[in-house]
Each structure stands twice: as structure tokens, then as C-alpha cells.
Amino acid sequence: MINRIWADRSGNFGILTALALVPLIGAAGMVIDFSRALTLRSDLNGAADAAALGAITEGSPGLVALSKMRQDGRVTVAEDEGRKLFLGHRSLNTAEDLTRWPLDVSIEVQRAAGAVTSSVSYSVGMPTTFMHIFGKTHVTITGGATAVYGSENKTFTDFYMLLDNTPSMGIAATTKDIKKFQAITRGNGQRGCEFACHLGRWSSDGTFKADPNSSYIVARNNNITLRIDVVAKAAQALIDRVKAEMKETSDQYHVAAYSFGKSALKEGYQILKVLSSTVDMSTASSAVGKVSIQTTDHDHFHENALTSFDTALTLVGKEIVGPGGSGTSRSDPQKIVYFVTDGVADSLKQGVACGGSWYQDKGRCLEPIDTKYCKALKDRNIKIAILYTTYIPPDGDHMWETYMKKQFGKRISVALEECASEELFFEVGPDDDMAEAMAHLFTKAANSYKGLRLAF
């Protein structure tokens, strides 16, 4: 009986056909599953592109956060925004499926060396339909996108550093130094003071005889770091950054530097050329590192009205020959005035308007920066980068309380930001890292941004 069954050949075609259908159906199923996988990958790659670009596009929360960063690093605000965009740009069918499937999305937004990179990667396990036949329950789909905002190359740039070294920059540099200086000056029988006034006289042979009772000497004898000291060191750090960035050609960057004068004038105002335009960054670093607080013959010299931004910006403009260029070559460099200041102008004005408050009846004008002098430079296509060192008045200062605080106190930083070219304004408080802030401004000012683009 059994032998007859094995010997019977009828119906073998059906059996063979059934057996053959297994690999045929499996092969067809693989095509269908892989087709679904390719469609899903295309959809997710589109979402990755949108997320990478959207995280750092103009006006996005991420780019706003980036503009406020003092140093390179990751930008979590942009990363969060990118994740939302990724999840929001999938098709409706895909979005519904992915709520049930294992999905891993990684987004990193990093600022470094003048460019911002937004990288998106994803991995998802798509359940198979027909490939179960071969024991393949999921297909892993991976992909991603990278977008870049910034420059691949540096421009040719001429920097004109203008360092405010007027007496108000003699404030103690940090909160700790301010409290220490106040305690020392009170102990000397004086009102607590943060400003270090450098009093004394210059002789005809160029030597300076300091007044031993000036607060500047007190500060130096007690190792008080002043804001002007930090400015000088930060300026040196900036020069070091410029030197490090000079990779393409030795004449890519030229630097000149000016202060408001080694000593206050008896009449009128000035700027002092600390450094002629040069590509020698070692010489430049040494020169800006020597900038010190402006000296005066005595207290109330020139009514203590020693800070004229109007004059400084006008004279710096005269130092700059021709308009700013595109920065694409040494013959057409972009030109940038790099201004470090505490933002309060204090000058004698006769027969003109004061943008703040007149002090008593002496023609002394206290005011924020007058932006028309900034506009005169910007109209020549000269950029203005401003590092604002927060103006900090002495405790209980009568001048601040009576003539400045209510009249224009809130306008100090606003006016400086209006003066600066777009995105080239930065504020540092007494405990902030000024060197990092200056380097940040340099990176933004010197880069030739090519806009937002997908890198790969």
C-alpha cells in the first residue's frame, strides 16, 4: 500500500508548484517590502533636510540663540527646533506608522570656526510584510542630512580697533574687584569708589609724574584689576585669533588700533594711533596690550568731560581711505571699525543739541552714542562691530541718579546696538569673558557668509 502511494506520480505538478511558490512569493514580497522601505527612506530624508535647514534658518529660535553665544559650542535650542521640524515634516501615513515603530532621531547643532553646522540622523525599524517567510521581521532604515550656515573661506579684512580708554574705563573689572576697591577707598577716608582716576602730569621729555593720592595708584598698589586692563588683554587675545585665522595668505588681515589718547587734552578731543595698519600680529599684540587708562592733570580737568564719541568716530573715519569693499581680494578688502566702549559720551558741546542731559550749566553733555556718526561710516560700506562693556556707575553716584539713569540709562545699550552693523553688537558684564566675546565678534565680522545650504 505504501509502495503504491510512493510510486504514484499523479499530482506531483501541484506539489512542485506549491513548493516553488514559496520562494516566488518570498521574492515578490521582498520587492514589496524594499519598495516600502525606499519610499519611507525618501520621506524621512526629506524630513531630515527640512529639520537640518530649519534649525538654523534666518529668524529661527536657534539662530537667535546662536547670535547671543559668547563662544563656540552646541546650541540646544536649535536642536530642539530641528527635532520638532523633523517630526512635523513626515507624510501623514508615515507619521501614523512611526508612532508604532521604533524611531531614533539625533540632531546636533554646533558652532565652530565661524560656521554653524546642523546635523540630523535617524534610524527606524520598519516591520516587514512578506519577509517574515525568511525570518526577517524588520528592515532597519537609516539616513540623515547636514546643513551649514557660514563661510568656507575667510575674507580679506582691514580692522580698525577703537579702544575707549577714557576715565570711566578705570572701573574695577569684576564684581569682586569692585567690592574690594570700595572697601579700600572707604578705609582711606574716601567715599567708596570703583573708578581709578589716573592723575598726574607729563613733562616735556615725555615722562609722567603720577599723583600718589590718585585712586589709580591705590588700585595698582592693591592689585585691583581694572576694566581697561581686561580690554587690553582681550585685544591681545583678539590679535592672537586673527593670527591663527591667517591661513590663506599672509596679508589677509590688516589691523590698526586707536585709543582716545594717552592723556586728556586741555581743549578738544582726539584719537591716538596706537598701531598703524599692519599684518605683523606680534607687533600688533604688543601695541594693544600697552593701552592704559587716559591720564588727566587733576580732578575736574576739562570739567571731567573727556569722552567724545562724535570726535572719535569722525577721526577714525578719516583714517580709513575709501569705502569698504567686498572682501574678495586684497585690492578690495572689507573694512570694519571694531569699537570697545562703555557707551556713555561725556563731552563739552557748544551751540549744538545734547542727546541726553546737560550737566548743570557748564555745557557738559552726558548722552548715549549719537548714531548719525555711525551712519556716516556705514554709508561708506564700513562695518561697525561694537563690544559694549556694561556701564556700571559708582554706588550712590549723584551724576548717574540725577542726570543719566532716568533720562537715558536704558538707551545706552540700545543706541550702541543701533550704531553697530547687523549682528555685530555684543555686551559683556563685569564677570563675563571679554576675550571670548571679542573673538566671537571677530569671527562674525570677518567671515564671508555664503548663507544657508545643505552640505550633504
Encode pLDDT of 287-302 as tens digits: 999 999 999 988 888 8
Q: Residue 136 — pLDDT band, cuts 50, 70, 90?
A: low
Percentage of the chain modeled with pLDDT above 90:
34
Total-model pTM: 0.69
| Chain mean pLDDT for the chain | 82
Q: Which of 99-103, 174-178, 386-390 has the highest mean pLDDT?
A: 386-390
Return d(Cα 181, Cα 170) in angstroms, integer. 11
pLDDT at residue 2 in the model = 47
> Is the pLDDT higher at 241 or at 429?
429
> Is the pLDDT higher at 9 or at 349?
349
Please, what are the domains in the chain?
A: 16-150 (no CATH), 157-449 (3.40.50.410)
pLDDT at residue 15 in the model = 53
Q: Is 322 left (phi over 0), alpha (psi -120 to 50) or beta?
A: left
Q: Looking at 18-27, 68-77, 93-102, 320-329, which range is the least confident one? A: 18-27
Number of Cα atoms under 13 Å in the Cβ half of residue 109: 26
Q: Looking at 154-163, 244-253, 365-374, which range is the least confident one? A: 244-253
pLDDT at residue 41 in the model = 81
pLDDT of residue 50 exceeding 90: no
> Is the pLDDT higher at 322 or at 66?
322
Q: Residue 20 — pLDDT band, cuts 50, 70, 90?
A: very low
Q: Looking at 69-78, 149-158, 234-243, 369-378, which range is the least confident one? A: 149-158
**What are the residues facing 263 on neighbouring strands?**
295
Sheet order of strands, 295-296 included: 208-210, 198-202, 295-296
Percentage of the chain modeled with pLDDT above 70:
81
Q: Residue 449 — pLDDT band, cuts 50, 70, 90?
A: very low
Average pLDDT over residues 133-143: 74
pLDDT of residue 220 exceeding 60: yes
Neighbours of 358 (CB within 10 A): 15
Return d(Cα 54, Cα 44) in angstroms, integer. 15
> Is the pLDDT higher at 37 or at 107?
107
Q: How far are the Cα atoms of 170, 208, 222 from residue 297, in angstroms, in the given order?
A: 16, 10, 23
Return d(Cα 241, Cα 45) in angstroms, integer. 38
Q: Is 194 left (phi over 0), alpha (psi -120 to 50) or beta?
A: alpha
